[in-house]
Amino acid sequence: MTDIAALLAPLVALRHDIHAHPELGFAEHRTARVIADALRAAGLEVHEGIGGTGVVGVLRAGNGPRKIGLRADMDALPIDEKTGLPYASRHEGCFHGCGHDGHMAMLLGAAQALAASLAADPSGIDGTVHFIFQPAEEGQGGARAMIEDGLFERFPCDRVYALHNWPALPAGTIATRAGAIMGAADKFHITLRGRGGHAAVPHDTNDTLLAAASLVQQLNTIIARNTPASANAVLSVTQIHGGHAHNVIPGEAMVAGTVRTFDPVVQDRIEQRMRQIIAGIEAGFEVSAQLDYDRYYPATINDADAAEDALIVAATVGTAQRAPEPAATSEDFSFMLQARPGAYIWLGQGVGENPPPLHNPHYDFNDAVLETGLRLHLALARHWLAPQE
């Protein structure tokens, strides 16, 4: 058996190195080189430049036809880090604030461990593992870019899994669920245009700020009054911009935000209602409005059998639990799950009563769960590729 304990210290060091050198989506050039070099050193077949900066390591054993994909994301966030750690980001405005550095380390460790195990005993699995290192998860659709670049044609997968750290769960707890586990992510940007003018004579203007204020109030009624009480949905206005002087009514204002849903019917209803409200604002305030509505990530929907298998396997590694409800956050692994059956899995990493959440400038991946994640990846591969009688 592979000495996993011997892998952990080098993996922690690699994780810290990647954390100190974060790169944004589709610019993960150094990160991709580090990962590709480590995969080659472990004896894997390596393919680079997939979907931009994506990397796939291939490990084959036996003649079995089964194939599994295991995915980790690579990109950082445009955030200034405030952890004060010795390995803190060296790049201003760029920070691994979502734990992708830890995801890469866990998946790389699984590749190293499985390759070493197969070198000692080639009969351990019968089939192919594709270790998928994906760029640009944070809102840029790197998963879709890899798929459009032929990911699953070049590296077929009967099942595909992704593992993401989850600070809200106790460290080491593994959770997933059948069906929706993450929300669809839409973003909207509404530009209101009117006739600006002097604030002392508002009757000579078409007040875009007044229109924007009414619009924000009405948008916030959609979830409460236009979607079923049983539907999980979120609409948040996150930006309002307009004006530059205390005595000028601006001729243009902007309102923007996000919508999160789990049901396409609810998603359609929210967009439809938004358009109706905007039309009413145009008529009521004599302004024009332009809506840009972008459904950029679909809901992350787990295959029921794949999720159930993941829970069974997780119980052999640590504490497994069925997630009671999905999260309203989004994930572009959703595109991979539209293309292939599989499941998205949460790995608890929370320490203490109030750990920093994901995307917080004080967040850091918990190195104590690297071993659990590594072992889960290994167990999933061995479960799906177990030699058949």
* Contact in structure between 79 and 342 (CB atoms under 8 Å): no
b/e per residue 228-245 (b: at least 16 CB within 10 A): eeeebbebebeeeebbee
Strands (E), the chain: 45-50, 54-61, 67-73, 127-134, 159-170, 174-176, 179-182, 184-193, 197-198, 233-242, 248-249, 252-261, 288-297, 300-302, 320-322, 342-350
Q: Catalytic residue, from 73, 75, 332, 364: name it.
A: 73
Task: Tell how strand 233-242 and strand 252-261 pair up.
Answer: antiparallel
Instruction: Give the integer Cα–Cα distance in Å for 202 and 163.
Output: 56
37 is catalytic: no
Instruction: Give the integer Cα–Cα distance in Å for 164 and 146.
Output: 19
Q: Catalytic residue, from 23, 81, 138, 331: name it.
A: 138
* Contact in structure between 203 and 215 (CB atoms under 8 Å): no
Task: Tell how strand 248-249 and strand 320-322 pair up.
Answer: unpaired
Coil, helix or strand for 147?
A: helix
- Nearest Cα residue to 157 out of 377, 344, 309, 340: 340
| Torsion of Cα atoms, 13 then 17 then 18 then 21, to 10° | 170
Instruction: Give the integer Cα–Cα distance in Å for 293 and 189.
Output: 7
Distance of CA 237 to the CA centre of its chain: 21
Tokens of 106: 């866990």
In DSSP terms, 179 is beta-bridged to 302
138 is catalytic: yes
| Torsion of Cα atoms, 93 then 94 then 96 then 100, to 10° | 140
Residues 6+ apart with CB under 8 A from 242: 192, 208, 209, 212, 250, 252, 253, 254
Catalytic residues: 73, 138
